[in-house]
Amino acid sequence: MGLWMRIFTLSEATPDPVVLAEMVASLLPGATCHFGADDRGWFRLEIRPPAGGPIQIDRYHCEEEGIRRDLNTWAAWVETCDYCDDAPNLMERIIQSRQFFTVMRSLDTPDEAGVERLCEGLCKHIAQGLDGLWQADDAGLKAADGTLLLQEY
């Protein structure tokens, strides 16, 4: 799986940090969570695995400066995928996003399978809870449950 993953959600709800921390503990035992928060809830989660580099999850609200531009860029990418019959609907879903999450994993990880399982699990959890889609570099755009919707070439 790629170094970056992105989650596009229609809901503006805040994912519960306690639930996320419990999920991290179950999927990658020994990992710790460190949240950054403001008056709108958490905006950054740094996961420190027992070995290797960190995993960073950033949460953005779509009215934040520059975020709408990023969403439009992703929608434009989907629009170019004329090999996918559902591209227009997927493009619209991305445009309608209310939140945008990025997941960046470190290349320095001795437990590649564990980190991949954790990142995919978090993407699925957030997307399912917040009516979202997620994308993983080199893998494509996926439904909340991980079903491939748009292959990345």
For 56-93, how does the pLDDT look when each residue is reduced to its tens digit (9 = 90+)? Answer: 999 999 988 889 999 999 999 999 999 999 999 999 99
What is the mean pLDDT of the segment spanning 36-54?
91
User: How far is residue 47's CA from residue 34's CA, in Å, rounded to a whole number?
Assistant: 6
Token pair listed for 47: 């996961």
Q: Chain-wide mean pLDDT for the chain?
A: 94
pLDDT at 110 > cutoff 60 = yes
Looking at the chain, the whole-number percentage of residues with pLDDT higher than 90 is 83
Cα dihedral across residues 19, 20, 22, 23: positive or negative: positive
pTM value?
0.94
Query: How many independent structural domains does the chain possess?
Result: 1
Write down the residue that tokens 């929608």 correspond to. 75
User: How far is residue 17's CA from residue 113's CA, in Å, rounded to a whole number?
Assistant: 23
Domain interval for residue 108: 4-150
